[in-house]
Amino acid sequence: MLLRLALTMSLFACACGSSPPPATPPAEPAGHDHGDHDHAAAGHHAGGMPHRFEDAEKWAKVFDDPKRDAWQQPDKVIAALALTPAMTVADVGAGTGYFAVRLARAVPNGSVIATDIEPDMIRFMTERAKREGLANIRPVQTPPDDPQLATATVDRILVVDVWHHLGDRVAYAKRLAAGLKPGGVVAIVDFKLEAKQGPPKQHRLAPEAIAADLRAAGLELGATIDLPEQYIVLGKR
């Protein structure tokens, strides 16, 4: 259910993650109606911020721009997940695979379910995984309102730059929670209200709002982690 990143710096701020499924990307440039998210495909949710990420090759130039690393801090995001080599991880709204390939290398004996609502992102990730020799990535196309994770099968879920695209955020959070194994963790990464990049300000969410969504889904909240332009909210089943 991305990032996903140039149309404008505003756009780059919004899309750099993945194409969200419901909607892992860079920030959406201020003022753009949806920038660069990996999970950008999460677009069409009632009440959310609509945006489509249909041309994977075009968006790869944004989502996978090396400049993204400076503000996205992928190593810190992955460290927050406390992964072990054999875990099953879901990258929800994985876009072009910015995070999916990193996760796959972090769980060499496990697997990464890389979801997106855009069929072209699924094609792109499938080809990328083969090209980079990452047989443990499984790209899956999902509908905008359901990550389609089997009950209690996933150790970790990462959702980057997607949450503000969702319409019924609590319902989506409940579906993510159901997919977690006992003790499993979901990490939601999104833009600060004062970030220089990201979606238009009216579409941004305070970390407290995301924490409330996860609490409503029955998850136990962890610490909120600060990043240069973003934050990470953790929820544990």
- 68-236 — its CATH code? 3.40.50.150
d(CA 154, CA 101): 17
DSSP state of 17: S
25 vs 118, more confident: 118
Q: Average pLDDT, whole number, for the chain? A: 82
Q: Give the up-direction half-sphere exposure of residue 94: CA atoms within 13 A in the CB hemisphere.
A: 35
129 vs 25, more confident: 129
DSSP state of 110: S
pLDDT of 32 = 32
Task: Tell me the mean pLDDT in the region 114-135.
Answer: 96
State which H helix or E strand residue 92 sits in. Answer: strand 88-92
Single pTM value for the model: 0.81
Task: Tell me the mean pLDDT in the region 56-85.
Answer: 87
d(CA 86, CA 80): 17
Region of residue 183 (left: phi > 0; alpha: psi -120 to 50; beta: else): left
The CA-based diameter of the chain, rounded to the nearest angstrom, is 42
pLDDT score of 204 more than 80: yes
**Confidence category of residue 4, pLDDT binned at 50, 70, 90:** very low
Domain ranges, ordered by start, for the chain: 68-236
Helix residue ranges, H only, the chain: 9-15, 56-63, 68-72, 74-80, 98-106, 119-131, 169-179, 207-216
**Confidence category of residue 52, pLDDT binned at 50, 70, 90:** low
d(CA 235, CA 185): 6
